Amino acid sequence: MAHVVLKDLVKTYGTFKAVNDVSLTVNDGEFVALVGPSGCGKTTTLNLVAGLTPITSGDIVIGDRVVNDLDPKDRDIAMVFQNYALYPQKSVYKNLAFPLQMRKLPKDEIDKKVKEAARVLDMTELLERKPRELSGGQQQRVALGRALVRDPAVFLMDEPLSNLDAKLRVQMRSEIKRFHQDLKATIIYVTHDQLEAVTMADRMAVMNGGYLQQYDSPSQVFAHPVNMFVASFIGSPAMSLIPLEASTANGNTVLTSAEGWSLQLSPRNVQKVARATTKKVVLGARHSTIKLHKSAIPGAIPAKAYTVEPTGDVTFVQAFLSGAIVNISVPPNIAVAPDEQIWLEFDQERIHLFDGETEMALKAN
């Protein structure tokens, strides 16, 4: 196993910048998820690390070697693809043996390693089958086996679960996590599904528009998103982002809405608002931090329920505030009807404030 360092990585296609100055370090044995919407450059970044796409500028270090100009085969990596990329004409055994044959290992050693990998992944009885005779989950497992049979320095995984059905996906998710814990493998995992990233990764790199937005542990990213993009991308349902305006009267700073209501701020939040470049401030709140009241209480904002979605153990209510959708979760025993008048109370300790102009999170000193 080895660590991976990306330094000022850039990839351009003509005038289009697919990857912009991405720098990050993946520690030895760490599970890092590259996450972002489609087209954010996460797969391109992975392909750059794999050597499948030549880099425009920057450095890639795997272990202690700079691998910028090395062929994929010389980078000591293994990759699991979204469509598995199993060789259709080869049996499972031969699929697993291929990377070893390419490295010219003796036959008996290949046999030993293939059988060991098959045992670990519990697919000994599948060895003679062709990929098309396997279910999606089994194909996925063979793809994983082909990656681990060679004991590479780094595992690269490109959306390995997105072709599976929902139930299997959850199951394979824990299998891959288990696989990482057992092998202490260095894994770079690309996904567009923030839930996969949050549940599996030690650290996650959130990307958008070719830029690395934030690189931190899932809990840190969740609790302290650096900007509005990360805030809205991580967490489900998405964080509500309400555009407001800061105004100060008699030395008292409040956030006012175009709808007429205003929100009092705690001293700490006043500090944050003071750092905004303009008067425009965006209030961010996760569904679980907003309290829903069915009668007016001081400090709560009046709103109308728009949709109500019971999921069993929690009910999601959507409402509009200042033209933005607000998600609120309430216990299932609280009945809310669409169009019912409700009051929303924000938790001053847990709201997020963003600069309306730069979209960056506002920080207190």
Partner 1 sequence: MSTIAETASRDRTRRRMRVDGWRWAGRIFLAFMLLYTAVPMIWMLITSIKSGFAATQFPPQWWPDEPTLASYQKLLDPQNSVGQDFLRFFWNSLFVSTVTTILSVIVAVPAAYAFSRFSFPGRNFLFFAVLLRNMFPAVIFLVPLFILMRVLGLMNTHGSLILTYLTFGLPLAIWLLKGFYDNIPVQLEQAARIDGATRFQAFILIVMPLSTPGIIATAIYSFIGAWNEYIYAYTFLSKNEQLTLPVGIQRFFSENTTDFPGLMAASFMMSVPVVVLFLVLQRYFVRALTEGAVKH
Q: How far apart are CA 168 and CA 8, in angstroms?
A: 37
The yes or no reply on residue 336 touching partner 1 (CB under 8 A) is: no
Sign of CA dihedral 53, 54, 60, 63: positive
In the complex, least distance from residue 167 CB atom to partner 1, rounded to whole angstroms? 25
The yes or no reply on residue 343 touching partner 1 (CB under 8 A) is: no
Of residues 192 and 203, the one with the C-beta less far from partner 1: 192
In the complex, least distance from residue 28 CB atom to partner 1, rounded to whole angstroms? 20
The yes or no reply on residue 185 touching partner 1 (CB under 8 A) is: no
Of residues 146 and 180, the one with the C-beta less far from partner 1: 146
342 touches 315 (CB < 8 A)? no
Of residues 47 and 329, the one with the C-beta less far from partner 1: 47
Looking at the chain, how many residues does it have? 365
- Quick one: angle between helices 166-183 and 136-148, nearest 10? 20
Kindly give the residue spans of alpha helices, DSSP state H, lying in 2-106: 42-50, 92-102
The yes or no reply on residue 223 touching partner 1 (CB under 8 A) is: no
Q: How far apart are CA 256 and CA 130, in angstroms?
A: 64
66 touches 22 (CB < 8 A)? no
23, 69, 102, 171: which one binds partner 1 (CB under 8 A): 102
Q: Of 218, 134, 136, 198, which is closest to residue 172 (Cα–Cα)? A: 136
Site for partner 1 in 41-80 (CB under 8 A): 50-52, 71-73, 75, 77-79
Site for partner 1 in 123-162 (CB under 8 A): 146, 150
Cβ neighbourhood burial of 106 (10 Å; 0-12, 13-18, 19+): exposed
Q: Of 320, 248, 244, which is closest to residue 281 (Cα–Cα)? A: 244
The yes or no reply on residue 107 touching partner 1 (CB under 8 A) is: no
Of residues 73 and 304, the one with the C-beta less far from partner 1: 73
Of residues 85 and 364, the one with the C-beta less far from partner 1: 85
The yes or no reply on residue 182 touching partner 1 (CB under 8 A) is: no
SS3 state of residue 44:
helix
Of residues 81 and 261, the one with the C-beta less far from partner 1: 81
In the complex, least distance from residue 247 CB atom to partner 1, rounded to whole angstroms? 55
In the complex, least distance from residue 139 CB atom to partner 1, rounded to whole angstroms? 13
Binding mask 302-321 for partner 1 (x = CB under 8 A): --------------------
Q: How far apart are CA 22 and CA 11, in angstroms?
A: 10
Q: How many residues make contact with partner 1 (CB under 8 A)? A: 23
Cβ neighbourhood burial of 272 (10 Å; 0-12, 13-18, 19+): buried
The yes or no reply on residue 92 touching partner 1 (CB under 8 A) is: no
The yes or no reply on residue 11 touching partner 1 (CB under 8 A) is: no
In the complex, least distance from residue 38 CB atom to partner 1, rounded to whole angstroms? 17
The yes or no reply on residue 94 touching partner 1 (CB under 8 A) is: no
31, 93, 98, 233: which one binds partner 1 (CB under 8 A): 98
- Other CB atoms within a 10 A radius of the CB of residue 43 amount to 21
Q: How far apart are CA 188 and CA 226, in angstroms?
A: 22
Site for partner 1 in 15-44 (CB under 8 A): none
Interface residues with partner 1 (CB under 8 A) are 50-52, 71-73, 75, 77-79, 81-83, 85, 87-89, 98-99, 102-103, 146, 150
